[in-house]
Amino acid sequence: MAKTYIVGNWKMNLNVGESSIYLHKLLKRLKIARGVEVIIAPTTIALQPLSLQIDRKRLKLAAQNFYYQDFGAYTGETSISALKGIADYAIVGHSERRYIFKETDKDINKKVAAAIRNNITPILCIGETESEKIFGETKDVLRDQLIGGLSEVSLEDLKKVIIAYEPVWAISSTKGARLAAPDDIAASVNIIREQLKALYGKAAEGIPLLYGGSVNPSNAGAYLTIPGVNGLLIGGSSLIADHFIDIIDLAKRVVR
């Protein structure tokens, strides 16, 4: 049975103490669910202390960011190798990294390769902006971001990658964000699946594909039932324990 992934991206929220309290609350309510992988991505400074508190049978940790070198003179950066044994997953290429911090496809493909090299599963985020969607450029943008992000990934390593489709215009932190209709998501998912098949052939069929963009308990069920979607990448709702648990429970019912 294929896994369903529920990933909570806390972004730059919750200090170490608040993160610990939240995790404690989450673990009290979270039960092991066959077929559902629950992942949280706290701030970098909270990763290590939470790794000592977490029950990895019920919950896994993801890094929000890292540098692609294993070590070196890179003041202020967190190396990918420093995350080994702490994080099982790492978010790569999120639109906030692309558009606020100006990460390029070259930076992103190095991060994807570095994560794989260090036995950490990269969650590669791709997605078009509002203007790119309006001008009919969605297919080209998704193709270019896939090629850019996966250019150093071999056929053998492909099974170690997760793709997350996050249209920038649907992310709640984006000015003027609006909800994506399931039909729009389904069309983009088909584009992504076709592009992956063109790049890797039949081996691409097993790549998990997540959806992210203003996901909440009211729409999560509809998003999870879109053909080709294997889970959700959640922002704001992952910071509210009741909402996050509700979404996890929805995922459990869909898996059944």
Residues acting as catalytic residues: 94, 166
| Region of 76 on the Ramachandran plot (φ > 0 left; ψ -120 to 50 alpha; else beta) | left
Residues whose CB falls within 8 Å of the CB of residue 193, separated by 6 or more in sequence, listed in order: 204, 209, 228
For residues 124 and 196, the answer to whether their CB atoms sit within 8 Å is: no
10 Å Cβ neighbour count for 183?
9
Instruction: Classify strands 209-212 and 121-126 as parallel, antiparallel or unpaired.
Output: unpaired
Give 214's DSSP letter: S
Question: Which residues are bridge partners to 233 per DSSP?
Answer: 7, 212
CB neighbour burial string for 141-176, b if at least 16 within 10 angstroms, e if fewer = bbbebbebbbeebeeeebebbbbbbbbbbbbeebee
Question: Which residues are bridge partners to 40 per DSSP?
Answer: 8, 61
